[in-house]
Amino acid sequence: MTGAKARITVLVSGGGTNLQALLDAQSRGEIPHGEIVLVVSNKAGAYALTRAEKAGVPGVVVEKKKGEQKDFEDRLSALLKEYRVDMIVLAGFLAILSGDFTARWPRRILNIHPSLIPSFCGEGFYGLRVHQAALDYGVKVTGATVHYVNEIPDGGEIIAQKAVEILPGDTPEILQRRVMEQAEWILLPQATELAAKTLTERSTQQ
Ligand code: GAR
């Protein structure tokens, strides 16, 4: 950490509504301890990149080819170094990061997951599949979780959670939207500010 604000990169793979929530919160002054300096997508053409461009934030594609891990992470690491990134937010980023990578960023990577961890999480649980699993199980309450990222998929320390009701007639799509509106878009900016504040305080103590 070199400045008073944590330099944040947001990693995305798709539509980027959570990225949008972060950008909007930032423009309302709700992330005073951080600054979004870079958006990285592992998918070319992700709409999240258009959102970054509209907000005036650089957007870069770092593609992960099939079976590739180390080379992908080396390219990503070089980019993060170039932008002097302090903190990473995974916002709908659907590629897995290796334990080697996450170990280099202790308590500096956040992820949002669309369920109440430890339910419906871990490898294979992403996007609509998470909501389908909640509906199949028949739980009456679900929600979203923001957590630090370690080597275990969705296994790091929990920062914040918010519950959302499941209603009769819900489909995965309807439920996904409710979880985003009532939990994800509120929780992710709040947790990002909290983590950025913690990080800036940690580094001034060093
Ligand atoms: C969000 O619901 C996010 O929680 C989920 O993907 C969606 C991305 O939407 N992430 C995962 O499932 C990670 N395991 P967005 O691109 O509109 O933010």
The finding on whether 121 has its CB within 6 A of some atom of ligand 1 is no
Q: Does the pLDDT of residue 204 top 80, yes or no?
A: no
Residue 1 in domain: no
Distance between Cα 63 and ligand 1 center (Å):
18
pLDDT averaged over the chain?
96
Q: Relative to the CA of 125, which ligand 1 atom is closest?
A: 14
Distance between Cα 204 and ligand 1 center (Å):
33
Confidence class for position 126, pLDDT limits 50, 70, 90: very high
CB environment 4-40: b (16+ within 10 A), e (fewer): ebbbbbbbbbbebbbbbbbbebbeeeebebbbbbbbb
Distance between Cα 90 and ligand 1 center (Å):
9
Domain count within the chain: 1
Tens digits of residue pLDDT in 2-46: 668 999 999 999 999 999 999 999 999 999 999 999 999 999 999
Full domain range(s) for residue 66: 6-205
Q: Whose CA is nearest to atom 15 of ligand 1?
A: 16
> Is 147 one of the annotated active-site residues of the chain?
no
Which amino acid, residue 78? A
Q: Relative to the CA of 14, which ligand 1 atom is closest?
A: 16
Instruction: Name the token pair of 67.
Output: 């079976």
How far is the first Cα of the chain from the last one, in angstroms, to the nearest whole number?
10
Q: Does the pLDDT of residue 205 top 90, yes or no?
A: no
Tens digits of residue pLDDT in 49-79: 999 999 999 999 999 999 999 999 999 999 9
Give the CATH number, domain containing residue 111: 3.40.50.170
Residue 116 in domain: yes
The finding on whether 17 has its CB within 6 A of some atom of ligand 1 is yes
Residue with tokens 């957007």: 59
